[in-house]
Structure 1
Amino acid sequence: MANEVIEALPSGFPHDEVLAALEQWWNDELADAALPGDKALPPDIMTPAVEIDSHRAVRALVTLEEVVKFEIPESAIKEGGYDSFEEMKAHLIPEVAALYEKKRKKEHA
């Protein structure tokens, strides 16, 4: 059932927990993408831009749903995905926070 609340939501959006879960998801994605024997380049040499397409971002939503305790609609993801993890965080966290507040207010109405 779309947007079903799994349990009662606390009054405050768990920003730090959402950020930590999203960063853990990203670190896991990077580890999964690394080839055996890859060595990280020093940050001042070339850092490749990583694109996060909408299909990949859906996997992040599943991680965040465990923190916020409700199903996050795929429409929370920016159409076309993200050019970087920083862009994803800057867009997705406020989207999830708005959904959280909407759910919490509805729950207490």
Structure 2
Amino acid sequence: MELGMESGTEDLRKEFRRKQAKLVAELEAWFEDETQPIDGSAPPPPSGGGGSIIGVRPAIDSKRVIDASRVTRQVLDIELPPEIIKQGGYASCDEMISDLVPKLERVYTGELKVKKRRPFKVSEPA
């Protein structure tokens, strides 16, 4: 790697780290909003001794995590690449942040290459 490229990557890494506290705070707020029950109540405890499917599911699934792109666009000016999201989702906010933030740093600095998304194209009326 050229010296100029290393310097550019290091500058991006420093810039990411300056934004990291805001990124984490915004992701925490997003996670809190996304995992709140619609009616504000906690789910009822399972009845019987057989356990519950609710206890097995992640707190937030991987498809919903894609919606956190609004946070990454706002803080980092990049999309949240679906390919860096843990398949199946995350059991907690801490798990999501500890998984995504290092990956987002690598995407931000260009060390991790991800597919570029094509802009949505609206077709012309006939």
- With normalisation by structure 2, the TM-score equals 0.56
| Counterpart in the other structure of 2:45 | none
| Counterpart in the other structure of 1:101 | 109
- The RMSD of aligned alpha carbons is 2.5
Distance 1:66 1:76 in 2: 18
| Counterpart in the other structure of 1:54 | 62
Q: Does 1:19 align with 2:24?
A: yes
Structure 1 runs not aligned, ≥5 long: 1-8, 40-47, 104-109
Greater Rg over alpha carbons, structure? 2
Matches within 5 A, 1:1-109: 11-13=14-16, 14-31=19-36, 33-36=37-40, 38=41, 50-102=58-110
Relative CO higher for 1 or 2, CA cutoff 8 Å, sep ≥ 6? 1
Count of aligned residue pairs for this structure pair? 85
Identity %, equivalent residues: 32
User: Runs of at least 4 residues of structure 1 off by over 3 A?
Assistant: none
| Counterpart in the other structure of 1:106 | none
Task: Please report how far the alpha carbon of residue 56 of structure 1 lies from its aligned counterpart in structure 2 after TM superposition.
Answer: 1.1
- With normalisation by structure 1, the TM-score equals 0.64
